[in-house]
Amino acid sequence: MYDPAQARIEAESVKAIQEKMASNDDPHFQARATTIKEQRAELAKHHVSVLWSDYFKPPHFEKYPELHQLVNDTLKALSAAKGSTDPATGQKALDYIAQIDKIFWETKKA
């Protein structure tokens, strides 16, 4: 039911769109790509927020005290990627999501 893969997939889309935007200067393409990129970033933020609010519980936060800050940093990175055409911002969001993914799967083992 819960899986950070959903956030990762959306964030991968954001980065891919950013990369495509760099190589295509057609204004119509840019407008469509911007809309899609922003939608995908919002979806990724939604999936991360759902993990934080619905999946992770107090014992997880006790075991992983960095989790609150990590989620906040991830949401901020996704917001930055949403407003940027620089693929580095998309990659930063993906790096944070990978950290959440690692913690998530560690909690599933417990």
DSSP 55: I
Give residue 53's pLDDT.
Answer: 97
Q: Please give the helix or strand (H or E) that residue 22 lies within, else none.
A: helix 5-22
C-alpha–C-alpha distance, residues 22 and 47, integer Å: 27
Q: What is the mean pLDDT of each run of 10 residues along the chain (110 residues)?
A: 96 98 96 98 98 98 98 98 98 98 94
The SS3 of residue 26 is coil
> pTM for the whole thing?
0.96
Give residue 88's pLDDT.
Answer: 98
Q: In CATH, which superfamily holds the domain spanning 4-109?
A: Nickel-containing superoxide dismutase (1.20.120.400)
Question: In this structure, what token pair is assigned to residue 24?
Answer: 């295509």
- Apex 53 CA angle, 89 and 57, nearest 5: 115
Segment 67-72 long-range contacts (CB within 8 Å, at least 24 positions apart)? 67/100, 67/103, 70/96, 70/99, 70/100, 70/103, 71/100
